[in-house]
Amino acid sequence: MADTIYNEVLYPSAVYAQTHPDRLAMMATLYGMSPAPVEKCRVLELGCGDGWNLITMAYGLPGSEFFGIDLAGKPIARGNELIAKLGLKNLSLREMDVAEAADLGEFDYIIAHGLYSWVPPHVREKVMALCGRSLAPNGVAYISYNAYPGNHLRDMVRGMMRYHTAHFTDPAQKIRQARGLVKFLAESKEPKEIYHELMTQQSVRVNKYSDAGLFHDDLSSINQPFYFHEFMAHATAEGLQFLAEADVVDNREERYPPQVEAVLAGLDPADIVSREQYLDFLKNRAFRQTLICRSGVKIARDLAPERVCEMWIAGEVRAASESVELLSAKAEIFHGPKNAEIETDRPLVKTALAKLGELWPQRIHFSDLLAHAVAATGADAEAESDLSTALMQAQAVGFLEFHMHRARFTIEPGEKPRASALAQMQFSAGDRATSLRHTVVEIHDPMGKELVRLMDGTRDRAALVAELGAGVTREQLDENIRKLARLALIEE
C-alpha cells in the first residue's frame, strides 16, 4: 500500500455535481460540441479518493463505464467494499500512482478534482498529458485548481499556519493550532486595520473547512495556485483548449462601470485566454473548475438559444404571489435558489416557470415544456425561440438547471416505494446521503431515516405504517414519502 498521508487522514467522502458527465455534456452542448451521450459514456477520475463521486454516478448511469485511480490504498479499499455492497458492475477503482499510469484507454469525460494544485510538478505534467492522450475526440476534461490573484492572501495565511504547526506531529493538533493562530491574528488589535479584517475573513474560511479538508488543502506541503494563462499554456502544449468553467454562473457576463466595459470591449475577442485572465484580475478569482477539450474541436461561443431545445430543464421555482396570474400581462415575481428572483410579464414564460416549480426536482424535456406552455397560452410560432431564450437567460444566472438526461427518480412514488440503495446505505450510518440528483441531502429525523431503510420496494404503504408503529398514520406516512421524493431519494 502506498505511503501517503491520505491513508493516515482520510479525505471526506464527497460528490461534486459540477463533475458529473451530465454537467460536462450539458456545457459542451451549450458551446456547440457533440459530446458522448450521458447514458452511454466512459468516465475516468484521477485522484478519486474512496470513489464516492464515481459510485454515485455509476449507480445512476448503469449503461456507462467508470474508472477511478488514487495513490492512497485505504480509500480505494473502502470504495471497493462499497461497490461490492451495491453490486455495481460498471465501476472499477484501482490503487495507482497517476504519475505511473500507463495507457488507460479513451474516455469521453475525465475528472481531476482537487488534484492539479496539490501534487508535485511531475504528477501535474502527467495529469495534463493523460487528458491530452486519453480524451475522446469530442471529450471533455474537468480540472479544478487554486487560482491567482485570489489565492495570494490565502498563500500568506497558509505560510503562517504551516510555520506555526511545523513542530506538531499529531494531525488533529495541527488543525487546532492552525485555526487558533488565524483567530489570534484576527483578534490581535482593536479597532481593526485592513490586515486584521482580512485575517477575520480568513478565520471564517478556515473554520468552515472540515478538519480533513483544512489538513490536506491549507496545511499540505504542496498547494500551488496558478494564473489562468499559466494553466492554459500547459493545456495548449498537450493539444487542448479552453471550453468553459464547470459552474454555470462562473461563465456569465458581469456588469462593470462604463470605463471598465470599454477596456474589456477593446480586448481581442479571439483571445479568450487573455479575456478570462483579465476577468480573473477583476473578480480576484481564487478557484477555477475549468473544462477543456481537444484543440481541433470547433467551439461556438455565441450560446445560441436553440441548443436549449436538446435539453431537459429543472427549476426550484415558486411564484411570489399565492394568486399568480399566468395568462395575463401582469408582471409576476418568481423566486429561485439562493433567494434569486425573476420578474416577467410574459404568459409563455410565467407558465413554463410555474410548471417547473410544480415538477421540481424532476426534469422535463424542453419540447414537453414548450408544448405545455403553448397549449396553456395559445402562443404563436415564435414560442420556441422566445422560451428557449428566456430559459437560457435564467440558467446563466443559476436560476434554472439544464441537463442532458432524465435522472432515475420520481416525485410520485407508487404503492411500494423504493428508496435509492445509496441512500439506504448512507443513512444507516449517519444523517447525510447522496441523492439521485448527485447532490448531498441531510435527514436528522429518525423516522425519515428509518423510512428510507424500510422502502426497499417490497413493502406497500400499509406494511410501512405497520413497521413504523408508534401511532404513525397513513397521512403522516404519505407526507414523509412526498418529502423524501422531493429530495430525489426514491427511484422510479
Give 47-60 pLDDT, tens digit per residue. 999 999 999 999 99
Q: Inter-axis angle of helices 347-359 and 383-396, to 10 degrees?
A: 60
pLDDT of residue 254: 86
Residue 6: band (very low, low, confident or very high) from pLDDT cuts 50, 70, 90: confident
pLDDT of residue 412: 95
Percent of the chain clearing pLDDT 70 (strictly above)? 99
pLDDT of residue 429: 86
- Three-state SS at 217: helix
CA 450 – CA 445 distance, rounded (Å): 9
Read off φ and ψ for residue 365, nearest 5 degrees.
-70, 145
Percent of the chain clearing pLDDT 90 (strictly above)? 90
pLDDT of residue 165: 97
Give 44-90 pLDDT, tens digit per residue. 999 999 999 999 999 999 999 999 999 999 999 999 999 999 999 99
Cell of 314: 429543472
pLDDT of residue 486: 96
Give 473-491 pLDDT, tens digit per residue. 999 999 999 999 999 999 9
217 and 118 Cβ atoms separated by less than 8 Å: yes
Instruction: Report, as an integer, the average pLDDT of 222-240.
Output: 98
Residue 9: band (very low, low, confident or very high) from pLDDT cuts 50, 70, 90: confident
Instruction: Flag whether the pTM goes above 0.85.
Output: yes
Q: Inter-axis angle of helices 171-186 and 194-208, to 10 degrees?
A: 150
pLDDT at residue 106 is higher than 60: yes
pLDDT at residue 414 is higher than 90: yes
488 and 60 Cβ atoms separated by less than 8 Å: no
Pick from 492, 487, 482: nearest CA to 439:
487
Instruction: Report, as an integer, the average pLDDT of 260-271.
Output: 93
Residue 14: band (very low, low, confident or very high) from pLDDT cuts 50, 70, 90: confident
pLDDT of residue 2: 42
Read off φ and ψ for residue 289, nearest 5 degrees.
-125, 80
pLDDT of residue 1: 36
DSSP structure class, residue 456? B
pLDDT at residue 224 is higher than 60: yes
Residue with cell 431537459: 312
CA 182 – CA 383 distance, rounded (Å): 56
- Average pLDDT of the chain, as a whole number: 94
Give 186-208 pLDDT, tens digit per residue. 999 999 999 999 999 999 999 99
Instruction: Report, as an integer, the average pLDDT of 422-445.
Output: 93
Instruction: Report, as an integer, the average pLDDT of 166-170.
Output: 94
CA 156 – CA 153 distance, rounded (Å): 5
Instruction: Report, as an integer, the average pLDDT of 396-406.
Output: 95
